[in-house]
Amino acid sequence: MNAVPQSRKLRLATTSLAGCFGCHMAFLDIDERLLELLERVEFDRSPLTDIKTCGPCDIGLVEGGICNAENIHVLQEFRRNCKVLIAIGACAVNGGLPAQRNHLDLGRCLQEVYLTGPGIVNGQVPNDPELPLPLDKVHPIHEIVRIDYFIPGCPPSGDAIWKFLTDLLDGRTPRLGHPLLHFD
C-alpha cells in the first residue's frame, strides 16, 4: 500500500496514411535511443506493433497526407484517442510530393495506370468495395483534424525526431533549430 507509485509509461501510437514509411524509418534512425525511449513510452497501434485499433494514447505520430477514405477514418480514430497529435514529415504537413497529383484528373490517372498504360492486358480499374476510394485531391492532415505539433522534413532526421520527442516528454516546448529543421 505504501509503495511509491511508479510514473506511468506514456502511450504512443503511430500510423502511415498517404506516406512512404520513410518517416517511420527515420524514427527508427534514433537507433539504440529507441531502448531509452521504450523505458518511457509504450507503443499502442503502430506499424511496429500488432495492435489493430488505436486505444487511448498520450501521443500520436502521423506520417503521410490524406489521399483516400480510409486515411480519413484512421486519422479521425487517432484524433479521438490521442491527447497530442503530431504531423510528421512533409506529406502530413503540406500534402508532400503525392499532392503533385492535385492538378491531374483522378479518373484519367486511374485510367492511365490500370487501362491504357504500357504493358497492360485486359486491364480494369479496381472496383471492389474492400478498396478505399481515392479522394480527388491529396490534403495535409491539418485540413481534416486539429494538429498539435508539426515536425517537417522529408523525412525529418532521427536526431530531429529524438529532439522533438524528448523535449515533449520532458515538458519543454519542442524546438528544432539549425540544422535539425529542414523541409527536404
Partner 1 sequence: MNQPSILLDGLPVPFVDGQTIMDAAMAADIFIPHLCHHPEFKPQGSCKLCTVKANGRYVSACTLPARDGMEVENNSPDLNDKRRTLLQMLFVEGNHFCPSCEKSGNCMLQALAYELEMLSPHFDQFYPNRPVDASHPEVLLDFNRCILCELCVRASRDLDGKSVFSLSGRGITKHLIVNAESGRLADTDFSWADTAAHVCPVGVILKKRSGFAVPIGKRRYDVEPIARQVERLAARRADEES
Which residues in this chain contact partner 1 in the complex, by CB under 8 A? 87, 90, 93-97, 99-100, 102-103, 137, 139-140, 142-143, 147, 149-152, 154, 175-179, 181-184
* Residues 169 and 40: beta-carbon distance below 8 Å: yes
Of all helices (H) and strands (E), which one includes residue 56? none
Q: How far is the CB of 140 from partner 1 (least distance, A)?
A: 7
Which residue, 82 or 155, is less far from partner 1 as judged by CB? Answer: 155
Q: Which three cell numbers stand for residue 113?
A: 495506370
Q: How many helices (H) and strands (E) in the chain?
A: 6, 7
Q: How far is the CB of 152 from partner 1 (least distance, A)?
A: 6
Whole-number Å distance between alpha carbons of 17 and 66? 6
Residues in the chain: 184
Q: Which three cell numbers stand for residue 61?
A: 505520430
Which residue, 45 or 88, is less far from partner 1 as judged by CB? Answer: 88
Q: How far is the CB of 3 from partner 1 (least distance, A)?
A: 41
Q: Which residues of 39-53 are buried (b: 16+ CB within 10 A; e: fewer)?
A: eebebbbbeeeeeee
Q: How far is the CB of 108 from partner 1 (least distance, A)?
A: 14
